[in-house]
Structure 1
Amino acid sequence: MRRRLLLGRATVLAALSAVLGTLLTVAPAQAAEGSVGGLAGKCVDVAGANSANGTAVQLYDCNGTGAQRWNNAGDGTLRALGKCLDVVDRSTADGASVQLWDCSGGANQQWVVTAARDIVNPAANKCLDVRGNSSANGTRLQIWTCTGAANQKWNAPASGGTSPSGFVVSEAQFNQMFPGRNSFYTYSGLTAALSAYPGFARTGSDTTKKQEAAAFLANVSHETGGLVHIVEQNTANYPHYCDWSQSYGCPAGQAAYYGRGPIQLSWNFNYKAAGDALGLDLLGNPWLVQNDASVAWKTGLWYWNTQSGPGSMTPHNAMVNGAGFGQTIRSINGSLECDGRNPAQVQSRVDAYNRFTSILGVSPGGNLYC
């Protein structure tokens, strides 16, 4: 799963894959507190105002008590009485009940409020649902395949805006984009890396910012099999990425400069250039890219923001100047994929981009192909 990153050289071997699952249009949950209204004007309620683990979460007449005061903390959770809305037994099945439980950071406690007023658990890709479409007090809430029906529509505490990090992709949305990702590729590593390129996903209108974030993550997804692969899988290629014509040579060894990270950084001259730009000795210690999530993300952002590859512009400029997603493909792997060379690979990237813009609730714009 790799591709060459070149400073004015042709690229090689595109990564294969697309993001898994059917994803929904969402807006990130933000810090806010209030009732969550639903079917028949009733509210999401903690039974008996009991804060014990396992307490049922139900539909009940709105009464303004603490049992119905939900905090949308911005970390993907919905909290009441100091605990989290939780899917029982981490189930992803239709009909799995929800309850109150100690906050653990688990995927069964992650919720995304969509633009369509669904409340989605990304791990299950299912909606918060009133069992049996009943409006009776005490009706248990559950998760169910999203249908768009009234028993899945909610008025939740404020949605929209950015994550607490200032990034236009919230952690819940990131998890929804990459449900099978390797634990190495952390959201915190990504947000920590953003300071290296402050213009990334912070330039232009809100639409442009979201489109750029989606474009970067879609290409990254394609390169790594959905953020699964940290290093190049074909070890036979490892000795090939040392260009001894460079004056600095290959101090880490002949076979040390194989593909690593979200855009599979490879070749000694790319490690040297990225390291110089980031203030890191990547030429001497290329293993930093596979051992430090923030460094890995920074190398991806380095390429995105500073390199044109076989294209005529950086991917960052392609998105902020309205050239379109297709030009990001050309700058990353155009010599192998664009102009009809490998339409299936181009389609894989476009499919991922369309899914990710849908998650962020933004139009993908035009010029998607190269």
Structure 2
Amino acid sequence: MQIRWRRAAVAAVGTLVLGLLSVLPASPAAAATGQISGLAGKCVDVAGAGTANGTAVQLYDCNGTPAQQWNVGADGTIRALGKCLDVTGNSTASGAQLQLWDCTGGPNQQWVVTAARDIVNPQADKCADVTGNNSANSTRLQIWTCTGGANQKWTAPATGGGGTPSGFVVSEAQFNQMFPNRNSFYTYSGLTAALGAYPAFTTTGSDTVRKQEAAAFLANVNHETGGLVYVVEQNTANYPTYCDWSQSYGCPAGQAAYYGRGPIQLSWNFNYKAAGDALGIDLLGNPWLVQNDSAVAWKTGLWYWNTQSGPGTMTPHNAMVNSAGFGQTIRSINGSLECDGRNPAQVQSRVDAYQRFTSILGVTPGANLYC
């Protein structure tokens, strides 16, 4: 199977990303409130019940006070006392401490509670962590590389947006049903850890629209990767062709380093540069992250879905939330090769997957399925 990548328009990516973040609602669209407990049965706590920006977030004996009542929202925020759980200084470094701060919608205030009981900051791709594995009262919380250790495991209130532990409208069981033969690289936890990078994805509109968008994204991903089987482009002869030396930054990882990878088969040096800049990850210098880190791979797929129109006239996200229909997502991903009668069999393959996935999610596929 040869999977090809369309040269995407990359102008104004930063503006698009900031635009998405700016439309975060003032309060979570769907949420659950309660204590978050972890190491030694202790709770995530706001020191002294303070509401000043910069107040420490710590581990403490569970006591049921407002300082331990956390609102876990489907918009990706975790809130207490009217403010947001925040990574100090917008840092992505291990050891950056957690604090309370005014809610800004920034990526350092985005969290994903996974089915594995991790609380992940997608921007840093790191977990909420009890410093030094120390269960003493007042031990600060920080972010750290996810290890699976007890000091990174949390029991949090289930979010809204479909009732899954992550708040994603697709449950892990439904994901597994959609991709029974998937490569183990494409983990459900990797996908849910990536969701905070684009908080409008599958959280916009009615429950039906949110599920239709999830089904549309996953149906296109299914087509691009042969059912989440392929992590990298299979035709290795193409690898040296994806370096555009006319770009001022060139190809620092090498002539043949920018081949198709991940759920949307990201390729070309300029696309790695644009996606990396938008996500705060050096993908131009280290494109191998897309094939070695499941969350990074999923983030590149979400980057394209939410910010790029490719050969179409709108982003796939906008096509689904504005009722343009599934056919326009095909046009934006590969319309120049498939739409307007160019390859109806490929279009039908995508539509078949979309209809199958909407059935699994219990929603109608809507109108305008073809391009």
Does residue 315 of structure 1 match 2:316?
yes
Aligned to 1:269: 270
Amino acid at match of 1:290: Q
Mapped contact 2:309–2:333 kept (Cα < 8 A): yes
Aligned to 2:163: 162
Aligned to 2:297: 296
Displacement of 1:317 after TM fit?
0.1
By relative contact order (CA 8 Å, sep 6+), the higher-ranking structure is 1
Structure 2 CA distance for aligned equivalents of residues 355 and 162 of structure 1: 21
Structure 1 CA distance for aligned equivalents of residues 9 and 293 of structure 2: 27
Q: Deviations over 1:163-217 (max 9, x none)?
A: 1100000000000000000000000000000000000000000000000000000
Q: Deviations over 1:284-343 (max 9, x none)?
A: 000000000000000000000000000000000000000000000000000000000000
SS at match of 2:299: helix
Aligned to 1:199: 200
Percent identity of equivalent pairs? 86
Aligned to 1:182: 183
Task: Specify every segment of 5 or more residues in structure 2 that has no aligned partner in the other structure, as ranges.
Answer: 11-114, 116-160
Structure 2 CA distance for aligned equivalents of residues 161 and 272 of structure 1: 34
Structure 2 CA distance for aligned equivalents of residues 347 and 205 of structure 1: 27
Task: Specify every segment of 5 or more residues in structure 1 that has no aligned partner in the other structure, as ranges.
Answer: 10-104, 106-159
Displacement of 1:162 after TM fit?
2.8
SS at match of 1:305: helix
Aligned to 2:223: 222
Structure 2 CA distance for aligned equivalents of residues 190 and 6 of structure 1: 24
Structure 2 CA distance for aligned equivalents of residues 350 and 235 of structure 1: 28
Superposition pairs for residues 79-94 of structure 1, below 5 Å?
Answer: none
Q: Deviations over 1:261-292 (max 9, x none)?
A: 00000000000000000000000000000000
Question: Structure 2 vs 1, CA of residues 3 and 162 (structure 1 numbering), >3 Å: closer, same or farther?
Answer: farther
Q: Deviations over 1:53-88 (max 9, x none)?
A: xxxxxxxxxxxxxxxxxxxxxxxxxxxxxxxxxxxx
Structure 1 CA distance for aligned equivalents of residues 362 and 9 of structure 2: 35
- Name the TM-score, length of structure 1 as normaliser: 0.59
Mapped contact 1:162–1:169 kept (Cα < 8 A): no
SS at match of 2:363: coil
Does residue 259 of structure 1 match 2:260?
yes
> Where in structure 1 do 4 or more consecutive aligned residues deviate above 3 Å?
none
Does residue 360 of structure 1 match 2:334?
no
Aligned to 1:325: 326
Structure 2 CA distance for aligned equivalents of residues 244 and 162 of structure 1: 48
CA RMSD of aligned residues (A): 1.8
Amino acid at match of 2:211: K
Structure 2 CA distance for aligned equivalents of residues 196 and 221 of structure 1: 21
- Name the TM-score, length of structure 2 as normaliser: 0.59
